[in-house]
Structure 1
Amino acid sequence: MSEDLLLGIDLGAGSLKSTVIAADGRIVGTASQNINTSVPRAGHSEQSPDIWWAAVLTTLRQLWDSGVDPAAIRAVSFTAGAHTQVLEDAKGTVLRPAIMWNDQRSGAEVDRARASDGDRILHLSGNRISATWTLPQLMWVRAHEPDIHSQIHRIRPAKDWLRRQLDGSDVTDNTDAWGLMLNDASGGGWSDALCAMAGLSAEVLPAIVGSTDVTGRVTKAAADATGLKVGTQVVCGTSDTNAETFSAGMTRPGIGALKLATAGTVSTLTADPVFSEDVIHYPHLVTGHCYAILGTNSCASAHRWLRDAMFPDLGFDGMDARAAEAPAGCEGLLFHPYLNGERSPYWDPDLRASFVGLGFAHGAPHICRSVYEGIAFTLRDCLDVLHARGMGFDTARLVGGGTKSALWRQIIADVTGLTIEVPEQGDASFGAALIAGIGAGVFADTEDAARLIHVRETLRPNSEAKAVYDAAFSRFRAVKEALTPANHDIVAATREATA
């Protein structure tokens, strides 16, 4: 291949994907590798960074074997989930498995921090403290693993740890800095006060650069390991949602994005962020803008749980086919997908999942469809918060692995009442490749790169189904409220039994 190619590598919660594109946006090659998550205790979620790097090497070998010429790669960039950090000692040794963004172990630390410093943390970091952020996770490490905490010499967000393997760089971008909840949202840079709450100095944190800045070039050692050419440009990168919403076409206010991945998210672009208790903000790739985002903890992960727990012989396609046999509303069956607590709008790590309304008339089709509908209801919960804040939208780009299901896509439109647009390419690895192109000068800026974003399908709500879902959503919320005390009692009893 004589043309310049761009490589984007995205670390997701369940897999790592590498995508190579040409300057006109054509997909030249893709490869992916599953990533295993360790759950040593209920509410814990960890991954080994070594597994991430092994997945990078595997996917690159797959790309080269498929005919992609590594010498044609002009630039490479990484993305990964926010809040997932690697702790290193003074020798650069990883101290423990990386605590994931969906980990809920720091609930007690969150409660104490909210009681003593909740308003101050919101003012400094721009976001409400919850168990998903790195700050309370570091508080947990200090309380429960003091020997490890005392050895922390450097904290690296996941994508920055991976990028360092290529170019030796010691930086992060502003979006991942916010994800650590150790940033100064108003003044820029790191916050000494927030670092002190974590029991650390800002000196353990990398420098902050632009997401599209070139951070270095592929070293000889990295080239030997990966097959990339020595000197290939390496671009900083950003969080997966930042890259994914951009690559889906959320490039101006008024367009939203819904994501059906391990977690589900609802996002929109804003030029004037208003920090609040219920909406999360991060800097966006589009200069001068933030993206406001709300998330539900269990989305495709709940779908995967259903397959593994109840329908291992059906697989995803079989479950999808069975779900299509049930009517909208599942004849009263409701599913609350709080398998790992919940983020927006409840911010409650002690919520738990439930099937409610089961009767003899219900079967496998109802159970499968109710999971699709329950997740759609949680996204509507998030969307209602944005509407209440004056940040609602009528059209949304739909991204994530869940978009493979035509049934689920239509359920999302019917439950939310939104016009749903499905982009041709809308995943984070494609976004990472665009970022690599901006950094390398293949594209002049984000606006120039956005020319490559196209819609392949448009879905509009079905009025009859929407009426059914409006009524079911009211019951969904009422059942959640009724079950919350019981969920809290169950979680408390389980903690006592396993303490």
Structure 2
Amino acid sequence: MSSDTLLLGIDLGAGSLKSTVINGSGTVVATASLPVETLSPKPGFSEQDPEGWWSALTGSLRKIWAMGVDPAQIAAVSVTAGAHTHVLTDSNGRILRPAIMWNDQRSGVQVDKARAAQGREILALSGNRISATWSLPQLMWVREQEPETHAAIRCVLPAKDWLRFRLDGTIATEVTDAWGLMLADAQAGGWSDALCAMAGLSVDALPPILASTAVTGKVTAQAAAQTGLRQGTVVICGTSDTNAETYAAGMTRPGIGALKLATAGTVSTLTASPAFSEDVIHYPHLVPQHYYAILGTNSCASAHRWLRDALFADIGFDGMDKQAQTAPAGCEGLLFHPYLNGERSPYWDPDLRASFVGLGFGHSAPHICRALYEGIAYTLRDCLAVLQDRHMGFDTARLVGGGTRSALWRQIIADVTGLTIEIPAEGDASYGAALIAGIGVGVFADTDDAARVIRVSETLQPDPANADVYARGFARFRAAKEALTSLNHSTVRELREGK
């Protein structure tokens, strides 16, 4: 490859699509993003229009070309997106319904039924516990609630694969997103006839499974006209956003973890072999012969955004951060549980709800802002404890996601978890996608070679002065959650019944 070779990574997040161009040394040349809209037609529903993704993709690339990037220099492009989000199409390739998102909670009834009747079989085949996050129960919901739509399904494509199909016209996926559909056989490989039957689908409706770094095709004439990319640009398969992001952050060997402050919050670690259980989610990792174990909280930056919109729209995120800096550690007893859309790890409870606990006349706006930071840090500590109990913990973590822009929040994460926190210079999924494009087209020899360009820009140590206050706060956080669980359940049940 010539010295002016460029690589393009595209990541579809829950709230925006971001495109990043890097050179062969891993330096970011240009980046651009556009928002994507989430629809909530009913409580607990979370959907997006795939055509909106494509509009954001083409719009972000127009921004990049306007920065002076020459499309002819792009050697390869790769796409990532959140796992579990899928597109359903008919025999003509027409989208049948909005894409159900990973944070959608509508399939709780289907989850309960499947867990009671087939929970052990699903865990044994898929390697993961069934919950409302996964595509399998969402497809069960479509079969029961939208039978005409279900009958018309001829292809199920993970979100990033639908976007890539729009680029090169090929139907394919890779193993991480295949696991994310909960339709793949984690033990034997390939698609599972039994899991597909539970979803009411034929294996024929699912794409071939390729390597994440495999060449799937080339940019078509139609896609070139819409995106500005050069026709014939090589397209690489790609992977899920978390897989790409943890790799780009530097989680390339066991012993280093990754924490993510994005729409959802996650805790991940690399392992040489998966220990399938109901408590920890596993996926294959980009690093060959390795897997990543991950636990996640449903609401992280999304809770931050909710609080801004609800109470602090006049001062915005920067104003909230300045407010939070003036409140003491522990917020003088104020706690926040960020369960605005139920919770995944470690409770797997779609009927939990958020709460501020311990409010008094002595609390004000700074306490509320800081309590949100601390509450999300407590949820990450809750997830970390699951890994530690299974001897999968770590002492150092790479911190990624939009929340890392707050210096205060970064330090709170270190203080609450007790971890050494490292901030990657470039650690998002679009950067990881660009590295994958480089591996696929030969700019980098393999994942080890590409990892040489990953750098750390900041290291944070836990402040021992805050250890006791956060240990007590975490204990109260857990106790309050337990005390409120039955009330949350009855409240949600009554709302469902229209009371």
* TM-score, structure 1 normalization: 0.99
2:27 corresponds in structure 1 to: 26
Distance 2:233 2:131 in 1: 39
2:350 corresponds in structure 1 to: 349
Aligned ranges 1:309-348 → 2 under 5 Å: 309-348=310-349
Displacement of 1:314 in angstroms is: 0.9
2:29 aligned partner, one-letter code:
V
Structure 1 residues without counterparts, runs of 5 or longer: none
Displacement of 1:196 in angstroms is: 0.3
Aligned ranges 1:96-115 → 2 under 5 Å: 96-115=97-116
1:447 aligned partner, one-letter code:
D
The 3-state SS of whatever aligns with 2:415 is helix
Distance 2:266 2:254 in 1: 17
Displacement of 1:222 in angstroms is: 1.0
Distance 1:274 1:109 in 2: 26
The 3-state SS of whatever aligns with 1:75 is strand
The one-character-per-residue Cα deviations of 1:199-240 (angstroms, maximum 9, x if unpaired) are: 111110000000000000011111111111111100000000
2:398 aligned partner, one-letter code:
R
Q: Please identify runs of 4+ aligned residues in structure 1 that moved more than 3 A.
A: none
2:411 corresponds in structure 1 to: 410
Distance 1:413 1:49 in 2: 37
Aligned ranges 1:173-188 → 2 under 5 Å: 173-188=174-189
Distance 1:390 1:57 in 2: 45
The 3-state SS of whatever aligns with 2:498 is helix
2:141 corresponds in structure 1 to: 140
The one-character-per-residue Cα deviations of 1:118-177 (angstroms, maximum 9, x if unpaired) are: 000000000000000000000000110011000000000000000001111100000000
1:77 corresponds in structure 2 to: 78
2:186 aligned partner, one-letter code:
A
The one-character-per-residue Cα deviations of 1:242-270 (angstroms, maximum 9, x if unpaired) are: 00000000000000000000000000000
Distance 1:173 1:281 in 2: 15
The 3-state SS of whatever aligns with 2:431 is helix
Displacement of 1:464 in angstroms is: 1.4
1:229 corresponds in structure 2 to: 230
The 3-state SS of whatever aligns with 2:452 is helix
Aligned ranges 1:126-137 → 2 under 5 Å: 126-137=127-138
The 3-state SS of whatever aligns with 1:21 is strand
Checking the alignment, whether the CA contact within 8 Å between 1:2 and 1:72 is kept in structure 2 is: no
Aligned ranges 1:97-246 → 2 under 5 Å: 97-246=98-247
2:154 aligned partner, one-letter code:
H
Distance 1:296 1:230 in 2: 41
Distance 1:49 1:4 in 2: 30
Distance 1:263 1:151 in 2: 32
Aligned ranges 1:455-466 → 2 under 5 Å: 455-466=456-467
The 3-state SS of whatever aligns with 1:452 is coil
Distance 2:63 2:346 in 1: 41
Checking the alignment, whether the CA contact within 8 Å between 2:3 and 2:24 is kept in structure 1 is: no
The one-character-per-residue Cα deviations of 1:404-461 (angstroms, maximum 9, x if unpaired) are: 0000000000000000000000000000000000000000000000000010000000
Checking the alignment, whether the CA contact within 8 Å between 2:21 and 2:434 is kept in structure 1 is: yes
The one-character-per-residue Cα deviations of 1:320-345 (angstroms, maximum 9, x if unpaired) are: 00000100000000000000000000
2:402 corresponds in structure 1 to: 401
Equivalent pairs counted in the alignment come to 498
Distance 2:417 2:222 in 1: 50
Displacement of 1:466 in angstroms is: 1.7
The 3-state SS of whatever aligns with 2:230 is coil
Identity rate of aligned residues, in percent?
Answer: 72
The 3-state SS of whatever aligns with 2:414 is helix
1:60 corresponds in structure 2 to: 61
Asked if 1:365 corresponds to 2:366, the answer is yes
1:266 corresponds in structure 2 to: 267
1:360 aligned partner, one-letter code:
F
Checking the alignment, whether the CA contact within 8 Å between 1:247 and 1:428 is kept in structure 2 is: yes
The one-character-per-residue Cα deviations of 1:63-120 (angstroms, maximum 9, x if unpaired) are: 0011000010000000000000000000100000000000000000000000000000
2:94 corresponds in structure 1 to: 93
Distance 1:9 1:395 in 2: 28
Checking the alignment, whether the CA contact within 8 Å between 2:423 and 2:456 is kept in structure 1 is: yes
The 3-state SS of whatever aligns with 1:456 is strand
1:183 aligned partner, one-letter code:
A
1:300 aligned partner, one-letter code:
A
Distance 2:3 2:21 in 1: 14
Asked if 1:41 corresponds to 2:42, the answer is yes
2:474 aligned partner, one-letter code:
F
Distance 1:136 1:172 in 2: 20
1:281 aligned partner, one-letter code:
H
Distance 2:343 2:465 in 1: 30
The one-character-per-residue Cα deviations of 1:342-401 (angstroms, maximum 9, x if unpaired) are: 000000000000000000000000000000000000000000000001100000000000
Displacement of 1:272 in angstroms is: 1.5
The 3-state SS of whatever aligns with 1:43 is coil
Distance 1:227 1:274 in 2: 45
* TM-score, structure 2 normalization: 0.99
Distance 2:3 2:398 in 1: 34
The 3-state SS of whatever aligns with 2:56 is helix
2:324 aligned partner, one-letter code:
A
Distance 2:273 2:242 in 1: 19
Displacement of 1:467 in angstroms is: 1.3
Distance 1:355 1:473 in 2: 14
Asked if 1:435 corresponds to 2:432, the answer is no
The 3-state SS of whatever aligns with 1:228 is coil
Distance 2:276 2:125 in 1: 10
Distance 1:466 1:158 in 2: 41
Displacement of 1:32 in angstroms is: 0.2
The 3-state SS of whatever aligns with 2:398 is strand
Distance 2:179 2:291 in 1: 11
2:300 aligned partner, one-letter code:
C
2:470 corresponds in structure 1 to: 469
Displacement of 1:2 in angstroms is: 6.8
1:384 corresponds in structure 2 to: 385
Aligned ranges 1:278-293 → 2 under 5 Å: 278-293=279-294
Displacement of 1:309 in angstroms is: 0.5
The 3-state SS of whatever aligns with 1:393 is coil
The one-character-per-residue Cα deviations of 1:10-41 (angstroms, maximum 9, x if unpaired) are: 00000000000000011110000011100000
Distance 1:475 1:177 in 2: 39
Distance 1:404 1:2 in 2: 32
Structure 2 residues without counterparts, runs of 5 or longer: none
Distance 1:177 1:347 in 2: 22
1:182 aligned partner, one-letter code:
L
